[in-house]
Amino acid sequence: MEVKEIVSATWLHAHLGNEKLIILDASLAQTATGKTPASSTETIPNARYFDLKHVYSDASSVFPNTLPAPAAFEEEVRKLGIDTDSILVVFDNLGVYSSPRVLWLFQSMGHQKIAVLDGGLPEWKAQGFEVEERRPSPLKSGNFKARFNPELLATYEAVLANTLNKTFTLVDARSAGRFNGTAPEPRKQLQSGSIPNSVNIPYERVLTDGKFKSKEALQEVFKPTADAENLVFSCGSGLTACIVMLAAVRAGRSSKRLYDGSWTEWAELQNLTLDAE
């Protein structure tokens, strides 16, 4: 079965009987910028909890939300009963927030049969579909195999080189204030500001009421990048950049390359900390 990267609540409800379908709950209790969902334990029936922050990020990294090693990702994903041919739909409890990061993680590890639920849990509930309280349940181990694709990852060195010799346009998903240096970063030790050769498309601009805008509306949003052949996406720590990346795909762009370290890594390595002033 062919799966689009963004699916509706009605589509998901209609395909619940597919034995290959696995629903992943990537909900967060709270975001770095202080957003708190109405409920952090309510979920879609039979969804499997995908602990993005604590299990599916590299705990040894000094930076948040870092891409885990393929072997570690494979081991943990198998615990969720995911196979190489599983069809995955991921959602979160803020509409569209953390779920696109999960889509990018799986795609970077070679798994293409994955979609984001447009509007997430709020849209599922708005359609009148059933919910339940999240609870752990025993799962048979899957045979998922990670096949890492380095082309979807931009390193600090690549971004640094791009500031001297531009080969791509960096799209920053943070707020305009953080990008312009007029609003503080949520990580209080960091200065705000922007990486040279980047443009600002705050992730809120690609959404309306927690759902992705239409293809035509998104093409307008991405007009500042119309002349850019190659795009790389960034934010504070590699999470909301994936929202803008998925929106770019809906708008007709093909790039899925992420600067995983994003502004947190850049500011730290460039010594753009408040202690450095």
Q: Give exposure, 9-48, as e/b (b: 16+ Cβ within 10 Å).
A: beebeeeeeeeebbbbbbbbeeebeeeebebeebbbeebb
Catalytic residue numbers? 235
Write 18-23 long-range contacts (CB < 8 A, 24+).
Answer: 18/87, 20/85, 20/86, 20/87, 21/86, 21/87, 21/88, 21/89, 22/48, 22/80, 22/81, 22/82, 22/86, 22/87, 22/88, 22/89, 23/47, 23/48, 23/88, 23/89, 23/90, 23/91
Bridge partners of residue 115, in order along the sequence: 89
